[in-house]
Chains A and B, each alone.
Chain A
Amino acid sequence: MATPTHVLPPVPPVQRPRVLLLGTAFATAATVMVFAGLIGVYLSRRAELVSAGDAWLPEGTDIPLQQPNVMLFTLIASAITVQWAVYAITRNDRVNTYLALGLTFAFGIAYINMQSYLYTLMEFDITANQQGVLIYAITGAHIIMVVLAMIFVALMAFRALAGQESRRQHDGISAAALFWHASVVVYAVIWIAVYVAK
């Protein structure tokens, strides 16, 4: 005779305030506004020069496009991996979570490496003119944003390793992913405004 089984009703979802996620959203908005201000100044100064009939970049200077393209694809790939981490943790798939977070971190290092290499190729003196100040300020600030995002991801990876992130409680990884996505979007704007438009 088959043993009767009793099916329990599903556990209701836990109602909890998503404090970390919301706090990160506010902090991310503030960070994005730093770049909005910087890029606004950049575009306004560029428009002034261009409308006066001058070229934006001083004669004899150049910014190659290959490295910025590689950085863009690197960051797009990192956006996919960080979302993979969120997807995995919501299914309690720890191995994939660790792998995805590790890859995201590695993409961050690759981005910083490529940006540093680009600095060596750019024929720019940071204080020679306003163009140098603006380009280094914007790209340098973005490096800081990516480093902050990497620290956030690393911290959440350690929390996941300690069992503090799970299917029921994954706000930390979701928050880190939100900040990471914002850094990718900001870079996409920088790519168009600074590297493509020149």
Chain B
Amino acid sequence: MAITETRPEPSSVEAHVNPWGADDDYPSFARSLGSSDHKTIGRLFVGFSLVFGVASWALVALSSLHDIGDVDIVPDDSIFQVFTLGRLALVFLFALPLFLGLAIYVVPLQIGASTIAFPRAAALAFWTWLLGSVILVISYASNGGFAGGRANAVDLSLVALAVVVMALLLAAVCVVTTVVTLRTPGLRLDQVPMFSWSMLVAGSMWLLALPVLLGNLLLIYLDHRLGRPSDFGVGLNQWPQVAWVVQQPQVFALAIPVLGIIGDVIATMTGARQQNRGVMLGAIAAFGILSFGAWAQPFFNDEVTTQWLYIGMGFAILLPMLALLGGWATTMRAGKPKANAATAGAVLALIPLLLAGLASALYTIDPLELQDTEVPYAQYGVLVLVIGAATVAAAGALAYWAPKIWGRSANNGVALLAVMASFGGAVIGGVALVVNGFQVRLDGLADASDFLNGVAVAGVALLALGVLLAIVSLLGRGPAAGDDPWQGQTLEWATTSPPPVGNFGTLPPVTSAEPLLDQREPAPEVAS
């Protein structure tokens, strides 16, 4: 008996109605709200973190202004909240989300993946981070925050900060999982572009260190919330328990992606292959390991800054930076770097980072008495130098990847101004603060403290201006970019600008770390 298959009657399906009334498509904000496309999430992360970046540097400038003798813009009872919010915002509302946003956009493209791992988790991470950040700011404005005056607002700040940290950790899981599991066939882990590698190292270090901060926050919250603070929840004890995040060595973990950005931009703009690639990757990994600082919490171990591990790490972190400097200098000598904002950002970002490493080493030398000042200026200086380096690199990175992210080039002149302002601000502000830290050792410096603080305020204000200029450089209608305006070496330049859904049509064969360069000039091993 023959069996006849008949197609079932189509069920009556209601026609899809666009509630926004548009004929062809949803409004862009509606598409962004519901999107789990890594490119949309990356753009959102980058955009909002830049806005927070301007505010963060402005808050740091305000708190530094208070250290100048007679200047009294912020009331005394609020200055500590401005101080802590500025530092928290620099880390959790600006630097970390900015690099994670760039990574969420760029890393899948660099490794030839069609998407990010756990795209809906990445979307959840962004919206949770944004919500947590807004609540954090509101709670501070309601007299909350560390040592705040309103108990409920303090508790809300603690919860909001924990939510922000968890959201960033979720985003980090997405990024590192992408690098490990979603590489295109042929692309080994030691062949991934420098930025992807640096995000693998950075994400791993953040995943190991920042959960310890969650533990600190839990202790503070429990002790404070339940009414009778015994130790952890006491107002003056709160900030010292979490301050290790913005102090050395942990603060250097924020700068790990800077090394990846410098590596990718220099190689591309020079048009030469990175020499001694394995050593460079190893140096970035060593830098990451040496920046693990969750164990160095002076609140729980007040002798930690005199222990050999702390001192050793303070000096040792200079070594991978010097190795990387040598590697990049070799690469730049092998070609002719293009003069533009991206190159300037990459080259200049290393200077404040090296200065931060030097200041970090000096800080551990006991006879210099940098730890003995009433206000820990040297620590503040290291923070400004490290996040300043991150700002410089980010300004360069945005100019570099703008064609791929937004489909048109950034305004090179304004982007160059952003890089120069950020660089000047980081060096001026950071060095002034570090020099101010010598006032116990050098008596004369105590008289110049107000002047040095004034210079530091000017530097930090320049950094705020630098972030603002970076936003302006992207807002302006720059020239439409081609798919590969820089003659790139890595896979993100093998697709359209911006990439389509799914990212790639066809991928070139991948046999080395520079597959696009292989197509133009076959590598010796490929040719053989």
| A141 CA to B301 CA, complexed, in Å | 24
- State whether the Cβ of B223 lies closer than 8 Å to any Cβ in chain A: yes
Judge whether B232 and A130 touch: CB under 8 Å: yes
> B203 — which chain A residues lie within 8 A by C-beta?
26
- Range for the number of chain A residues in contact with chain B: 20 to 34
From A27-35, A159-167, A189-197, give the one contacting chain B.
A27-35
Interface string of B204-239 (1 = CB under 8 A from A): 100111111111101100110011111111000000
Interface string of A25-63 (1 = CB under 8 A from B): 011011111111110110011000000000000000000
Q: In angstroms, how far is the closest chain B Cβ from the Cβ of A134?
A: 7
Q: Which residues of B14-64 are within 8 A (CB) of A?
A: none
> A35 — which chain B residues lie within 8 A by C-beta?
215
Judge whether A41 and B182 touch: CB under 8 Å: no
| A36 CA to B214 CA, complexed, in Å | 11
* Given A17-B181, A22-B180, A133-B223, A30-B215 contact (CB < 8 Å): no
- State whether the Cβ of B284 lies closer than 8 Å to any Cβ in chain A: no
Q: In angstroms, how far is the closest chain B Cβ from the Cβ of A148?
A: 12
* Interface SS, B side: helix
Judge whether A141 and B177 touch: CB under 8 Å: no
* Given A19-B181, A127-B230, A137-B222, A26-B215 contact (CB < 8 Å): no
Judge whether A137 and B181 touch: CB under 8 Å: no
Judge whether A23 and B173 touch: CB under 8 Å: yes
* Interface SS, A side: helix
Q: In angstroms, how far is the closest chain B Cβ from the Cβ of A143?
A: 13
- Range for the number of chain B residues in contact with chain A: 35 or more
Judge whether B294 and A37 touch: CB under 8 Å: yes
Q: Which residues of A126-162 are within 8 A (CB) of B?
A: 126-130, 132-134, 136-137, 141
Q: In angstroms, how far is the closest chain A Cβ from the Cβ of B136?
A: 20
- State whether the Cβ of A18 lies closer than 8 Å to any Cβ in chain B: yes
Judge whether A19 and B177 touch: CB under 8 Å: yes
| A45 CA to B218 CA, complexed, in Å | 16
- State whether the Cβ of B308 lies closer than 8 Å to any Cβ in chain A: no
| A129 CA to B441 CA, complexed, in Å | 40
- State whether the Cβ of B465 lies closer than 8 Å to any Cβ in chain A: no
Judge whether A141 and B211 touch: CB under 8 Å: no
Q: In angstroms, how far is the closest chain B Cβ from the Cβ of A56?
A: 14
Please tell me which one of the listed residues A18, A22, A137 contacts residue B219 in the complex, with CB atoms under 8 A apart. A137
> A41 — which chain B residues lie within 8 A by C-beta?
215-216, 219, 300
| A37 CA to B213 CA, complexed, in Å | 8
> B219 — which chain A residues lie within 8 A by C-beta?
38, 41, 133-134, 137
Q: In angstroms, how far is the closest chain B Cβ from the Cβ of A28?
A: 10
| A2 CA to B49 CA, complexed, in Å | 74
Please tell me which one of the listed residues B209, B218, B229 contacts residue A127 in the complex, with CB atoms under 8 A apart. B229
Q: In angstroms, how far is the closest chain B Cβ from the Cβ of A133?
A: 5
Judge whether B207 and A26 touch: CB under 8 Å: yes
Judge whether B212 and A141 touch: CB under 8 Å: no
Judge whether A30 and B181 touch: CB under 8 Å: no
| A133 CA to B222 CA, complexed, in Å | 7
Interface string of B372-396 (1 = CB under 8 A from A): 0000000000000000000000000
| A19 CA to B178 CA, complexed, in Å | 8
> B169 — which chain A residues lie within 8 A by C-beta?
30
Q: Which residues of A102-138 are within 8 A (CB) of B?
A: 126-130, 132-134, 136-137
Please tell me which one of the listed residues B176, B228, B230 contacts residue A26 in the complex, with CB atoms under 8 A apart. B176
> A36 — which chain B residues lie within 8 A by C-beta?
211-212, 215
Judge whether A141 and B218 touch: CB under 8 Å: yes
> A37 — which chain B residues lie within 8 A by C-beta?
211-216, 294
Please tell me which one of the listed residues B180, B181, B231, B295 contacts residue A133 in the complex, with CB atoms under 8 A apart. B231
| A126 CA to B210 CA, complexed, in Å | 25
Judge whether B117 and A29 touch: CB under 8 Å: no
Offer 20 A-B interface pairs, CB within 8 angstroms, sorted by A.
A17-B182, A19-B177, A19-B182, A23-B173, A30-B207, A33-B207, A33-B211, A33-B294, A34-B215, A34-B218, A37-B213, A37-B215, A37-B216, A40-B295, A40-B300, A41-B219, A41-B300, A127-B227, A130-B231, A133-B222
**Partner-A contacts on B (CB < 8 A):** 117-118, 169, 172-174, 176-177, 180-182, 203-204, 207-216, 218-219, 222-223, 226-233, 294-295, 300-301
Knowing that A26-B204, A34-B214, A44-B300 touch, tell me 10 more A-B residue pairs with CB under 8 angstroms.
A17-B181, A18-B181, A19-B118, A19-B182, A23-B173, A30-B207, A33-B208, A40-B212, A40-B300, A137-B218
**Partner-B contacts on A (CB < 8 A):** 17-19, 22-23, 26-27, 29-38, 40-41, 44-45, 126-130, 132-134, 136-137, 141
The 5 closest A-B pairs by CB, nearest first: A37-B212, A37-B215, A17-B181, A33-B211, A23-B177
